Amino acid sequence: MTWFASPSEAVTRLRQTGYLSDDAIATSVFLAGVLEKPLLAEGPAGVGKTQLAKAIAEATGADLVRLQCYEGLDEARALYEWNYKKQLLRIQADDDAWDDIFAEEFLLERPLLKAIRSERPTVLLIDETDKADVEVEGLLLEILSDFQITIPELGTITATRRPFVVLTSNATRELSEALKRRCLYLHLDYPTPERERDIVLAQVPGIAETVAEQLARTAATLRALELKKSPSIAETVDWAHTLLALGREVLDEQTVAETLGVVLKHHSDQQRAAKELGLR
């Protein structure tokens, strides 16, 4: 299937879902589609990595299958598992059922299997890959190489249509070289103030353009302070919602001082910012 016809078409269609891209995002998304390669989006929290996968699915009318990674995630949760309970019950009911219990109806399908078997266009989001243990990367590498899964009792299942794969990582650790080589890479970072203003305008209907601009510039200033946790796009968007709710038309010092808690979550960051920016 053709996911996107060109980078500029990707810009337009992502824009229609409220997602604002740039040259790097649009080109890598377009290429991931035509080259049928997984796209690894890496960067700090809250810069739109997860949202990108969702936007791709929405823009192309594909299903979204999500594998959320965490420490201790294993094959049984990522790939498939036999329904042990159901199998036992069947054997209790019928002693001769031993040959039947490794059949489709006892299979618990997990996200990776689901995405591979799906007949419909599918975006497979493997979210926060860096949280999984290193072993999981081996599994992903295998599956993302030939898009097939072998279940000993059932045989090999090959994708009829390859899913559009997006992996995300907050870079809390480095993913293996092998996995990175297999993927196209997109580094998502805090946006330029111009782009962030546009994101705020797209995500928060009703916000005045001047306020969006001030928010974006102030967020950039806060990020330059090297805080423990820099404000993300998500927080700028929250900030905009807050100002709208409070009915503030300008982002003056008083307003910033009152609402700083929306963007900075650590007390020490708030203190540091107040000091550096000369807020009372």
Partner 1 sequence: MIDRHIGFVHALRETGLPVSLAEGLDAAHALRHIDLADRETLRAAYAATLVKRPQHREGFDVLFDLWFPSTTQGPRKHRGEDPEDLRDELAELLNGDPAELRAFAQAMVERFGQVQAGPGRQSWFSYPVMRALSPQTLIARLLGERGGLPEKVARRRIATNIAAFEAEVATDVRRRIAEEQGRERITRSAVRPPIDRRDFLRVTKAELAEMRREIHPLARRLATRLSMKHKKGDRGRLDFRRTVRASLQSGGVPLTTHLKPRRPHKPELVVVTDASDSVSGFAQFTLLLTFALREQFTKVRAFAFVDTVDEITKYFAPGADVLDAITRMTTEADISRFGRTDYGHVLRTFEERHADALTPKTSLLILGDARSNYQQPNTETLKRLTGKVRHAYWLNPEPRDQWDTGDSVASGYAAIIPMYECRNVRQLAAFIEETDVGG
- Decide if residue 72 touches partner 1 (CB under 8 A): yes
Among 26, 126, 207, 237, which residue sits at the site for ligand ADP (rule: CB under 6 A)?
237
CB of 35 to partner 1, least distance (A): 6
Burial of 104 (0-12, 13-18, 19+ CB in 10 A): exposed
Nearer to ligand ADP, 18 or 138 (CB): 18
For residue 11, give the nearest of 68, 59, 57 by alpha carbon: 59
Nearer to ligand ADP, 48 or 163 (CB): 48
Among 46, 163, 193, 231, which residue sits at the site for ligand ADP (rule: CB under 6 A)?
46
Which two three-digit tokens encode residue 185?
Answer: 């890479």
For residues 151 and 73, what is the distance between their CA atoms, to the nearest angstrom? 19
Among 51, 60, 129, 218, which residue sits at the site for ligand ADP (rule: CB under 6 A)?
51
Nearer to Mg ion, 265 or 267 (CB): 265
CA distances from 153 to 99, 100, 101, 144, 240 (A): 10, 10, 10, 22, 54
Cβ contacts of residue 258 below 8 Å, gap of 6+?
A: none
- Decide if residue 220 touches ligand ADP (CB under 6 A): no
- Decide if residue 66 touches partner 1 (CB under 8 A): no
Name which of Mg ion, ligand ADP, partner 1, none residue 24 binds, using a CB cut-off of 5 to 8 Å depending on partner kind. Answer: partner 1
Tokens 């962030």 identify what position? 196
- Decide if residue 153 touches partner 1 (CB under 8 A): no
Nearer to Mg ion, 175 or 260 (CB): 175
Give contact residues for partner 1 (rule: CB under 8 A).
6-7, 23-24, 26-28, 30-31, 34-35, 37, 40, 42, 71-72, 74, 84-85, 88-89, 92, 133-135, 171-174, 177, 180-181, 183-187, 189, 193, 214, 217-218, 220-221, 224, 226, 252-253, 256, 266-268, 272, 276-279
Give contact residues for ligand ADP (rule: CB under 6 A).
18-20, 45-51, 168, 199, 202-203, 233-234, 237
